[in-house]
Amino acid sequence: MIVLSLVKTKGVIIKSIDYKENDKLIWAYTEEVGKITFIARGAKKSKSKNLSITLPLCFGEYVFFKGKNLYNLQEGKILNSFQGLLNNLDKLTYSSYICELIDICVQEGEINKLLFRDFITCLYLLNTDAMDYELLVRAFELRLLKATGYGLQFDNCSLCKKKIATAEYISLSHYGGVCIECKKEHGLHVSKAAYNALRFLNNTPMDKIYRLNITTEIKKQIERVTTFIINSNYSKKPKSLEMLNYIKE
C-alpha cells in the first residue's frame, strides 16, 4: 500500500507551459514549500477544475502530493485571481515582472515566509490604484535582494562600517553606501535624495511607501541601482519590463 505525502499550502502561479496532450507544467511560489514545479492534470481542458486555479497570477490554496520527480496538483481553491491586473498594461507588466524575479532569483524549494508575504502584499497593492507602481516594485526588489543575500546597507558605510547619515555613492560589490573618506570604485554615484529614497523604500512597509514623493530623475537613479545588482548576481536577466520601458520612451 502506497501512502501519498500531501502538502497543503497557499501559493501564487508564476508561470506555466503546456505539458503532454491535456496537462500543464506549473511553477508556483508557495508559503510552505517555497518555489515548486508541479503537474496539473487536464488543466488545458476548458471544463477542467484545474483550469482556473492554474492561471498565471492566481493566488490560491493548493493541495499537492509528491510524485517521483515532481509535485502533482490534487485540488485547489482560488483566494484571489488578481484578474484586475490583466486590464491595465502597467499593472500586468509589473506583476509579471515580480513573478519573473521570483522565478529567476529564488531557488527551487527555498522557503522564505517573509518574502512570500511581501510578494503577496505587492500583488494586492498592484491590484489597487493606491500608489506609484514603479516605487512599489522598487521596494519589492530591495526586499528580494535582502532575502537572497544581496541586501543593501544604508546606515553604515559598506567598506569601513562607520555609521553614515546619507551618501552619494553606492558600492555594487559591497552592497551599500560609501562614506566620504572611503574609496569610490565598482559602484554608482547617486544624489543624496536618491540615496535617502532607497533607504526609505528599503525600510518602510510596502503599504506605507505612498508617503514618498520623488522626481522622475530620482526614480531613474533608484532603478539603475536595483537593476544593476539584479542583472549582475542572478543566472538570468529579467525581460518583463523591457516592452513597458520601450513604450514609455
The domain spans of the chain are 6-81, 84-248
**SS3 call for 124:** helix
What pLDDT, in 10s, does the model give residues 73-84?
999 999 999 988
Distance CA 161, CA 82 (A): 43
* pLDDT on residue 69: 81
Per-residue model confidence as pLDDT tens digits over 21-38: 889 999 999 999 999 999
Kindly tell me if the per-residue pLDDT of 1 is higher than 50: no
pLDDT of residue 13: 97
pLDDT at 2 > cutoff 60: no
Cα–Cα distance measured from residue 244 to residue 91, given in angstroms and rounded to the nearest whole number: 10
Q: How many CA atoms lie within 13 A of 174 on its CB side?
A: 20
2, exposed or middle or buried, with CB in 10 Å at 0-12, 13-18, 19+? exposed
CA angle 144, 231, 201 (to 5 degrees): 40
Apex 208 CA angle, 205 and 214, nearest 5: 110
The per-residue pLDDT for 131 is 84
Strand partners, 67: none
- The pLDDT score that the predictor gives to residue 70 is 86
Cell of 15: 508561470
The model's pLDDT over 153-178, given as tens digits with 9 standing for 90+, comes to 999 999 999 999 999 999 999 999 99
Match domain 6-81 to its CATH number in 3.90.1300.10, 3.50.50.60, 3.40.50.1820, 2.40.50.140: 2.40.50.140
| pLDDT 10s digits, 193-209 | 999 999 999 999 999 99
Residues 6+ apart with CB under 8 A from 201: 135, 138, 139, 142, 209, 212, 222
Task: Specify the residue for cell string 499593472.
Answer: 91
Residues with Cβ within 8 Å of residue 164, at least 6 apart in sequence: 155, 156, 157, 177, 179
CB 28 within 8 A of CB 35: yes
DSSP 70-89: SEEEEEEEEEE--GGGGG-H
Q: What is the pLDDT of residue 243?
A: 67
Rounded mean pLDDT of 119-146?
Answer: 94
Q: Give me the architecture of the 84-248 domain, per CATH.
A: Up-down Bundle (1.20)
